[in-house]
Structure 1
Amino acid sequence: MALALEGCLPEEYLAFQVSLEVRDFERTAVGTLSPVPLLGVLHARARHAGHGKFLFFGSEDTPVTDGSRELFDLAQRGKLDLFFLSGAQVDRKGNINLTCIGEYAAPRVRLPGGAGSATLYYMTRRVVLVTLAHSPRVFVEKCDFITSAASTPHYPWRRGGPTKLITPLCTMEYDRDAAEWHLASLHPGVSSDEVRTQTGFPLMPEKVPETPSPSPSDLALMRAQIPLLRRSYPLFAGELARKIG
């Protein structure tokens, strides 16, 4: 991936794209094992979403008393506006696989599992997927196993689903009517041919704009959030600080 700005780390670039999905006055949650989304949400809170409500699991500052049960309760009551997920596989239809690679009965790789992602994929108003790799192994025509379904029949009823996909090469938007991903933007220095070569399903349209880049002031503000990030992800925050120098 070509960096969007000289001196901008790939992790910071992805986190900046995450921050653009956060809206003021909404309730946003970040689950476990999500350091890049957390950095992006911290940046958004400091930059433009100071009136929002935020749940950071794994942080001592999270205003919950009953752990993840409260998160699922909020989602099912329609009180969760934005959440972030990822997947070992993401397919053309927006389904994600966190369960196994290969046949379920005899998998080549057994993955950690969904950890409630199916419920959150249904009930959160907007779900943004963030992947740290972009290859045909990740972006497949059809998942080996569907842990969380993006598009479902009218029954069972669902409130939300995927809206955006952020990768190291591009962003995609989910077309709910067509039930598939559309290419939305290319990161600076990345060509549409490169994205299509690294994606295991067709992408339209042919021409899309360049992904927005963080300004120097955005980077400075984001880096000021590293002490807060360290509370939940000390190793990730420490490595990020080391890279920044």
Structure 2
Amino acid sequence: MSDVLPREVLICTIARLLDGVRHVAVGASSPIPAAGAMLLRAMKEAGGAVGPRISILGSVEHNFFTNGSAELFDCAGQGRIDAFFLGGGQIDGFGNVNLVGTGDYPRSSVRWPGSFGSAYLYFVVPRVILFREEHTSRVFVEKVDFVSAPGVSPEGVFRSGGPIALLTGKGLFRFDKTRPGFELESVHPGHDLAEIKQATGFRFEHDAEPRQTALPDGSTLELLRGRVFDELAETYPEFAAQMRRDLVAVDA
């Protein structure tokens, strides 16, 4: 079995974060979260249990919706989606997400696709995982320039959903809504606390010596590199092919 790739660490971490969910929804451009959900399903079924239902927007095989995002929003509002993923051009220490652009809105110097239904899903999905592979101070800022979706809400505002974690290419953070703020839970192999501090624009809690993110065992890697990459290729063929090319390069 070849060395574990950095993206395999992310996929396996997502599978652990999703443990216990019944239904997870994944956006149309989210191959790593989709792979994590598929890995959890494969692990559950390999152990004789029922895996979670996975809805990937844009997929034919892994999506029971027939009317796109409209049904996704209805399903979430009815409490039938347990987990979802959000990214953002900017994310701050309060869990606020910016999907609109940088600068003084509406005269933004850089424009992104827009908020879409992020605020709605952030409020109604109980287990939202913030995911951004790039970990730099331009992404993780002290305060977002525009709040597309707030991480927390004022007292008296009914809210059943919100962030539970932030996963990046360098580490895993847990979100404490009572403070509110992030705490570094683990550091991925090849990175360290000093590097993460330098690359993060907001303050976060951490142990003096944070632990390393757990690596997958051989049976988990076998499922990931076999069944999961096969399933993933239906929706994300280029990503699955690239992962396999990367594995060949490591073995060479």
Q: TM-score, normalised by structure 2?
A: 0.90
In the alignment, is the contact (CA less than 8 A) between 1:78 and 1:159 conserved in 2?
A: no
Q: Tell me the percent identity.
A: 36
Distance 2:74 2:157 in 1: 18
Runs of 4+ in 1 over 4 A off after TM superposition: none
Shift of 1:219: 1.5
Structure-to-structure mapping, 1:128-147, within 5 angstroms: 128-147=129-148
Matched residue, 2:241: 238
SS at match of 1:39: helix
Mean Cα deviation higher: 201-210 or 122-131: 201-210
Matched residue, 1:33: 29
Structure-to-structure mapping, 1:64-83, within 5 angstroms: 64-83=65-84
Matched residue, 1:210: 212
Structure 2 unmatched runs, 5+: none
In the alignment, is the contact (CA less than 8 A) between 1:24 and 1:51 conserved in 2?
A: no
Structure-to-structure mapping, 1:164-203, within 5 angstroms: 164-203=165-204
In the alignment, is the contact (CA less than 8 A) between 1:99 and 1:111 conserved in 2?
A: yes
Shift of 1:155: 4.5
Shift of 1:123: 0.5
Q: TM-score, normalised by structure 1?
A: 0.93
Distance 2:34 2:54 in 1: 10
What does the per-residue CA deviation read over 1:160-209, in whole Å, with 9 as the maximum and x for residues that have no partner?
10001111111101101011111111122322111111111122123332
In the alignment, is the contact (CA less than 8 A) between 2:42 and 2:51 conserved in 1?
A: no
SS at match of 2:137: coil
| C-alpha RMSD of the superposition | 1.6
Distance 1:159 1:165 in 2: 18
Shift of 1:82: 0.6
Distance 2:21 2:11 in 1: 20
Shift of 1:109: 0.8
Distance 1:226 1:197 in 2: 34
Paired AA for residue 171 in structure 1: L
Structure 1 unmatched runs, 5+: none
In the alignment, is the contact (CA less than 8 A) between 1:86 and 1:129 conserved in 2?
A: yes
